[in-house]
Chain A
Amino acid sequence: RKEVEQDPGPFNVPEGATVAFNCTYSNSASQSFFWYRQDCRKEPKLLMSVYSSGNEDGRFTAQLNRASQYISLLIRDSKLSDSATYLCAVNRPNTDKLIFGTGTRLQVFP
């Protein structure tokens, strides 16, 4: 089983839709979780950290499900500008390493 797994998509959604992505991780001892956004041919940019209690930033909500070992990202009221690849990152316990998923591609259409 891969350490971090994401559905590659693409997820094609109309403007205004709500869309959610999951990211599963294999090591139950992982403690730190992040979502990054990567535009085509650009570097990943931190979107948000994922806290145990869940957290929200505008139209974006991140949640952690420790029992099932996954994190989720919910985007409400999708905009054309949300089109990008969304990478999750999870720490490898007892190391200083982050393990990145391969990303989920989102395409928002008019």
Chain B
Amino acid sequence: DGGITQSPKYLFRKEGQNVTLSCEQNLNHDAMYWYRQDPGQGLRLIYYSQIVNDFQKGDIAEGYSVSREKKESFPLTVTSAQKNPTAFYLCATGPGTGGAYQPQHFGDGTRLSIL
């Protein structure tokens, strides 16, 4: 989606290193999400945030951290504690809840590999 920018497109991590993936949106959406996709698997939720300065763990939060200091930005840090970080990382946004749930829209992803 044009309104969601993820960078970098490809990232390589050395053993013991923390790396940060960027996600910026100009859709004025309240909710932002981070997913991980492994080959042949569905999207698994890492963290999500419904509002600035607040975020919640998803289903696989261990070894990851996030911040939400601005509405437009939701960076994800993959820490050295994440032992199997190689995956396709997808950031998504949504208008937030309030009655019927709205679909999420995705950035074009970051591919992370271990060196």
Contacts and interface: CB of A to CB of B under 8 A. Distances in A.
A44 B97 contact: no
A21 interface: no
B34 to A, nearest CB: 12
A79 B100 CA distance: 33
Interface string B16-56: 00000000000000010001000011110100101000000
Nearest to B111: A41
B108 A97 contact: no
A43 interface: yes
Size class of the contact patch on chain B: 20 to 34
Interface residues of A, number: 22
Nearest to B6: A43
Given A8-B40, A45-B106, A32 B50 contact: no
A4 B42 CA distance: 10
Contacts of A57: none
B101 A103 contact: no
Given A44-B90, A46-B103, A49-B103, A96 B50 contact: yes
A32 B99 CA distance: 10
Contacts of B40: 8, 102
B107 interface: yes
Contact of B43 (A44, A46, A96): A44
B58 interface: yes
Nearest to B45: A97
Interface string A41-68: 1111110010000000000000000000
A31 B50 CA distance: 19
A32 B100 contact: yes
Given A42-B108, A43-B90, A43-B106, A100 B43 contact: yes
Interface of B: 1, 31, 35, 40-43, 45, 48, 50, 58, 88, 90, 94, 96-97, 100-109
Pairs of residues from A and B, 6 with the lowest C-beta to C-beta distance, nearest first: A32-B101, A43-B106, A102-B42, A100-B43, A100-B42, A91-B101
